[in-house]
Chains A and B, each alone.
Chain A
Amino acid sequence: MSSWEVVIGLETHVQLNTKSKIFSGSSIAFGAEPNTQANVVDIALPGVLPVLNKEAVQCAIRFGLAVNAEIAPRSVFARKNYFYPDLPKGYQISQYELPVVGKGTLTIEVGDSEKIINITRAHLEEDAGKSVHGASPGQSGIDLNRAGTPLLEIVTEPDMRSAAEAVAYARKLHELVQWINICDGNMQEGSFRCDVNVSVRRKGEEKFGTRREIKNLNSFRFMQQAIEYETRWQIETLEDGGKIEQATVLFNPDTGETRAMRSKEEANDYRYFPDPDLLPLAVSAADIDVIRATLPELPSAMKARFEREHGLSTYDAGALTASRAIADYFTATLQVFGGEAKLAANWVMGNVSAKLNEEGRVIADAPVSPALLAGLLKRIADNTISSKIAKDVFEAMWAGEGDADAIIERKGLKQVTDTGAIEAIVDEVLAANAAMVEEFRAGKDKAFNALVGQTMKASKGKANPAQVNEILKRKLAG
C-alpha cells in the first residue's frame, strides 16, 4: 500500500443563496410540492428564453474575491448538450471556456500543517430537476422545481493526497461559502454537493493515473469513506494486474462501496457552444469594488487579527474562526464583556462548545447568548464568583434560569472576599485538622492542598481561593 499515492481533485456544486432561479423568476425554496415552482421557462416550453439573475453573479464574484481569484471581465455562458428527463431543455446552461471566476487558492489545515489548495475555476450554471423513483411501476417521476436553481461549481486542481486532505478542503470550503453568505450550507437538502476525482499512482510517478469520479457526496463522513474505499479498490485492482477505466461512480452508504453508474456508460459528447440566447457577462472593476465593500472580514484575516489584537494563540484563533457563527458569537461576547479575550475564548471553545456538542445544537441556537455569557465573564473577572462557581452559574443560565447576576444573587453564590470572614473559617479548619497541619509542618506539601480544599468546602466554595491560599500560608508559617 505504502508505495502508492492517491491524487484527489474536487468539483463542488454550491447552491447559491438567491430568492429566484438563475434564469427565471421562479422560487428556489426547498420542499415545495412537485413542479409547483417550475414555470414556462423552467420546463423549457417552446419560445422561452433565459435572463440572468444579478444576485447569482454577485455571489460568484464574492466567492472569487474570498479565494483571491481573478474575476473575468468578460465571461460566457455555454450550452452543455445531453438528453436526460430532468434536464428540460436538453442542454444545461453553464460556463465552459470562459468562467466568471479564474484561478484562486484556499488554505487548509491538516493536523499541524497548512496546505494551499489551488482552485482552477468557479463557474455559474443551472441545476437540473430530480427524478423520483417508484412513482408507478417501471416509471420515474420528474420534478422540475430544482431545475434552474443557481449553482456555483468550484473546481480544484488535483492537489489533495489523502482522504483527510480532501475532507479538510471540503469542510473549509463549506465554512467559507456560508461565511460570505452565498450558500446556506445545508448538505441534507443538497445545497453543497461534492464530486471527487480519485486516481492512484506509484509514488514518484509524475503521470496521473486514470481517474474515477465519485458523484454527489453530501456528507463529509461519506466523502471520507468513499475516498478510502475507492483508493483501496483502485490500488487492489492495479496490483491484481487490472486496469482502471475512466468512470463515474456512486457511493452506497449502506455497503460503504462505490459502483459505476450504468447510465453514463456511453462516452459523452456534450457539444458545448456559446449560448446564443445569452450575451457575454461583463464585470467591471467598479462592480468588483462595490461587491468587495460588502464582503465580511474573511476567516484568514480575522484569525490573524485575533492573534495580533487579542494575543490569542494560533490554535485558539483558528478554532474561533472555524465558522462564521462561532466567530460572530465570540466577537459579540467579547464586545459586551470588554475584558480579557483569552477568558472569553476559553469559555466559547470550552463550556459553550462542550454543551453544544452534548446536545447536538448549533451555536446560533445556544440558550446562553453572547450577552449572557459576557455577564458571567464580568463576574469572574471582578472576582464576584470563582471559576468553579461560574460553571454552576453557566449551567443555570443554560437551563434558562436568568442572567448571571440574578442567579448569583438568588443562589447566594457570591464569593467571600472579606479577610476576617475567611480567617475565621481557616481557623476552624486548622483546629479541626491538626493531623494535616502536622504533616504539612513535617514537609508534606500535599497537606497544604488538602487544607485549601477543606477551607473551600467549609465556605461552600464561596471563599476566594487566592485569599484562602494567602491566609493559610500566613497562619501555617506563624
Chain B
Amino acid sequence: MINHSLKHLASMLTSKEVSSVELTQEYLNRIARLNPEINAYITVDTELSLAQARAADQRIANGDAGPLTGIPIAQKDIFCAKGWKTTCGSKMLETFIAPYDAGIVEHFNAAGAVNLGKTNMDEFAMGSSNETSYFGKVQNPWDRTRVPGGSSGGSAAAVAARLCAAATGTDTGGSIRQPASLCGLSGLKPTYGLTSRYGMIAFASSLDQAGPMAHSCEDMAIMMNAMTGFDQRDSTSLQREKEDYTRDLGKPLAGLRVGLPKEYFAEGLDAGVAKVIEAAVDEYRKLGAEIVEISLPNTMLSIPVYYVLAPAEASSNLSRYDGVRFGHRAAEYDDLMDMYCKSRAEGFGAEVKRRILIGTYVLSAGYYDAYYLKAQQIRRLIAEDFAKAFEQCDLILGPTAPSTAFKAGEKADDPVSMYLQDIYTIAVNLAGLPGMSIPAGFAPAADGKELPVGLQVIGNYFDEARMLNAGHAYQQVTDWHTRMPEGIA
C-alpha cells in the first residue's frame, strides 16, 4: 500500500478495497515505529488524523470523493492548522497552537485529505540540512548518518521513508527541491503567487512559496490541483483561471527545447552528480527533446543577493516574536527591554539569530543602498537572464544540488559552505519562476555510499503543467522515483 500512487490509492478508497481509517492507521503505525529515529514529524495527533479519516470515509460512502479524499498527507510545520501545534521548528513557537487554518490547509481539508501530522523543518525554514530545528535533526532515510536537506527535510524524509503518501513543503531558496534531491523524491516549487501564503509562517515574503513533495510527477500534479488557487487574503496571490495540472501528462516530448545552463555544470559540481545529470539529459534526448546550451551569467551572484534579501525580509518578519501576544516569553526579566531581548535570545536558535542580525545590518541606516537596493537590482539581472534563456528553450535542466546528502554536522559550523548548497536553486526563487527536482539516479559519496541525485527542471512562469509532463515522461522510462531506501519496510 505504501508504494502506490495517489491515483491508485484514490481508486482503492473509492472501490472500498481499503478505508481511509485503515490507510491512515497504517501510516500512523509506520510513524510510531520509524519516526522516533528518523524524526520526520514534530507533531503527530492520532485522534485528529483518525477523525479526519472517518470523515473522509463518510464522504467516500456518500459518493462525494475527490482525488485526495481519504489520502494521508503530511504538512510541513510551517503551515498553521487550527488546533494543531504549529512550531515552525522553533522553540519560539514550542507551545503555539494555531487558532486558524492556512490557505493551503483549508485546500487540503476541503479536498478531504487526512493530515497525518506536522513535519520537522529547519527553524523558520532557515537551513539546508534540517539541523537548525529546535526539535532535533532529521535522518536521511537513505543513510541515517546523513542530512535529508532542508528546510523541508521532515517532509522529504517522511515521503522517502513512506511515512505519508505525499507532503507539503515550502521553498524560499531551494527548501523543497534540495531535500527532494537529497532524499530521492519529487518536489515542485510553483511560480510565485500560485499558492497561498496566508497562514504559511513567513521567512522571506517575496520568495516563499508552497509546493508538493511526492513520489512522482503524477502525484505532484494531483497535489498541485488541490494546492493552487487565488486567495484574497494574500495580496501577492495571483488571480488566474484554475488549471488542471494533470492535463499534459502523457504528451510526447518531441520538439521540446531543453536548455542546459553552462554555469550549472561548472566548478563546484560533484563529478558523480554531473554524471547522473548528463545521463538524464541523454534520456531526454532519446525522448525527442532538442538540447541547447544556454547561459545564466549571473548565477553566482544569486547567493549574495539572496543572503541580503532573504535575511532583510526575515529580520522584519520575525519581529512579531516578542513574547507579548503569543510564543516564548523569558521566565525572568528586569523590564520591557530585557523581556524582549531575553525572550528572543532564548526563543530563536543560532542560525535564525544570525540571519536576523544580517538582515538588520543590511537594512540599517547608511547601508540600505549598498546592500538591499543593490541586491534588488541584481535580482532583476538574474530574472532577465532567465527571460533571455527562455527565448532559446522551453525548459531548463540541470542539477538541483551540487552534491548528494552530506553527513550530519559536516557543514553545521560553516554557514557559507552550507549556503552554497542552494547555488542552483536560489536564482529560481529570485526570479519567481517554477522549479522542480526529480530523482535521476544515484552517485557515490566519498565513503562509497550510493545516494540519490535530483535533476532540476526549471520552467517559464506558469509552465508547471509542461514541467510536470516532462518529468512524467522521464518517470515513464526510468524507475529512479520508485526506489525505496533500505530498512524502512
| Chains A and B directly touch (beta carbon < 8 Å) | yes
A residues near B, CB below 8 A?
A: 40, 43-52, 79, 81, 83, 85, 88-91, 142, 144, 269, 271-273, 276-279
The answer to the question of B99 belonging to the interface, with a C-beta cut-off of 8 Å to chain A, is: yes
Chain A residues with Cβ below 8 Å from B235 are 49-52, 277-279
Judging by beta carbons under 8 Å apart, are A46 and B86 in contact? yes
Name the contact of B202 in the complex, choosing from A43, A47, A142, A272 (C-beta under 8 A).
Answer: A47
Name the contact of B236 in the complex, choosing from A44, A79, A271, A277 (C-beta under 8 A).
Answer: A277
Taken together as a complex, chains A and B put the C-alpha atoms of A45 and B326 apart, in Å, by 8
Taken together as a complex, chains A and B put the C-alpha atoms of A379 and B360 apart, in Å, by 75
Taken together as a complex, chains A and B put the C-alpha atoms of A183 and B80 apart, in Å, by 37
Judging by beta carbons under 8 Å apart, are A85 and B324 in contact? yes
Number of A-B contacts (CB under 8 A): 101
The answer to the question of B100 belonging to the interface, with a C-beta cut-off of 8 Å to chain A, is: yes
Chain B residues with Cβ below 8 Å from A142 are 324
Taken together as a complex, chains A and B put the C-alpha atoms of A279 and B238 apart, in Å, by 11
A-B contact pairs, 14 of them (CB 8 A): A40-B100, A45-B100, A46-B88, A47-B98, A47-B200, A47-B201, A49-B234, A272-B363, A273-B372, A276-B206, A276-B236, A277-B202, A277-B205, A277-B235
User: Given A90-B316, A277-B236, is A48 in contact with B363 using a C-beta cutoff of 8 Å?
Assistant: no
Judging by beta carbons under 8 Å apart, are A88 and B363 in contact? no
A408 CB to nearest chain B CB (Å): 62
Chain A residues with Cβ below 8 Å from B321 are 46
Name the contact of A49 in the complex, choosing from B197, B312, B363 (C-beta under 8 A).
Answer: B197
- List 14 extra interface pairs beyond A44-B320, A45-B326, A47-B200, CB under 8 A: A44-B325, A45-B100, A46-B80, A46-B96, A47-B198, A49-B234, A50-B235, A51-B234, A79-B316, A90-B319, A269-B364, A271-B365, A276-B204, A276-B206
Contact with A along B189-232 (1 / 0, CB 8 A): 00000000111111011100000000000000000000000001
Chain A residues with Cβ below 8 Å from B80 are 45-47
A329 CB to nearest chain B CB (Å): 43
Name the contact of B320 in the complex, choosing from A90, A269, A272 (C-beta under 8 A).
Answer: A90
A97 CB to nearest chain B CB (Å): 11
User: Given A81-B316, A81-B363, A273-B368, is A45 in contact with B99 using a C-beta cutoff of 8 Å?
Assistant: yes
Judging by beta carbons under 8 Å apart, are A46 and B365 in contact? no
Chain A residues with Cβ below 8 Å from B320 are 44, 46, 88-90
The answer to the question of B370 belonging to the interface, with a C-beta cut-off of 8 Å to chain A, is: no
Taken together as a complex, chains A and B put the C-alpha atoms of A89 and B198 apart, in Å, by 15
Judging by beta carbons under 8 Å apart, are B99 and A271 in contact? no
Taken together as a complex, chains A and B put the C-alpha atoms of A81 and B234 apart, in Å, by 21
A276 CB to nearest chain B CB (Å): 4
A315 CB to nearest chain B CB (Å): 50
Chain A residue nearest to B360 (CB atoms) is: A271
Chain A residue nearest to B309 (CB atoms) is: A276
Taken together as a complex, chains A and B put the C-alpha atoms of A91 and B206 apart, in Å, by 17
The answer to the question of B12 belonging to the interface, with a C-beta cut-off of 8 Å to chain A, is: no
User: Given A46-B86, A51-B235, A142-B324, is A89 in contact with B200 using a C-beta cutoff of 8 Å?
Assistant: no
Chain B residues with Cβ below 8 Å from A89 are 319-320
Taken together as a complex, chains A and B put the C-alpha atoms of A277 and B235 apart, in Å, by 7
Contact with A along B308-344 (1 / 0, CB 8 A): 0000110110111110111000000000100010000
Judging by beta carbons under 8 Å apart, are B363 and A271 in contact? yes
The answer to the question of B233 belonging to the interface, with a C-beta cut-off of 8 Å to chain A, is: yes
The answer to the question of B93 belonging to the interface, with a C-beta cut-off of 8 Å to chain A, is: yes
**Which 7 pairs across A and B sit closest by C-beta, in order of nearness?**
A90-B319, A271-B363, A276-B206, A276-B205, A47-B199, A46-B201, A44-B320
User: Given A46-B201, A83-B322, is A273 in contact with B316 using a C-beta cutoff of 8 Å?
Assistant: yes
B330 CB to nearest chain A CB (Å): 15
Name the contact of A88 in the complex, choosing from B199, B325, B365 (C-beta under 8 A).
Answer: B325
Chain A residue nearest to B367 (CB atoms) is: A271
The answer to the question of B253 belonging to the interface, with a C-beta cut-off of 8 Å to chain A, is: no
Chain B residues with Cβ below 8 Å from A90 are 316, 318-320, 322
Taken together as a complex, chains A and B put the C-alpha atoms of A91 and B359 apart, in Å, by 14
Taken together as a complex, chains A and B put the C-alpha atoms of A278 and B236 apart, in Å, by 7
A44 CB to nearest chain B CB (Å): 4
Name the contact of B319 in the complex, choosing from A48, A81, A273, A277 (C-beta under 8 A).
Answer: A81
Taken together as a complex, chains A and B put the C-alpha atoms of A279 and B202 apart, in Å, by 16
The answer to the question of B357 belonging to the interface, with a C-beta cut-off of 8 Å to chain A, is: no
Chain A residue nearest to B323 (CB atoms) is: A85
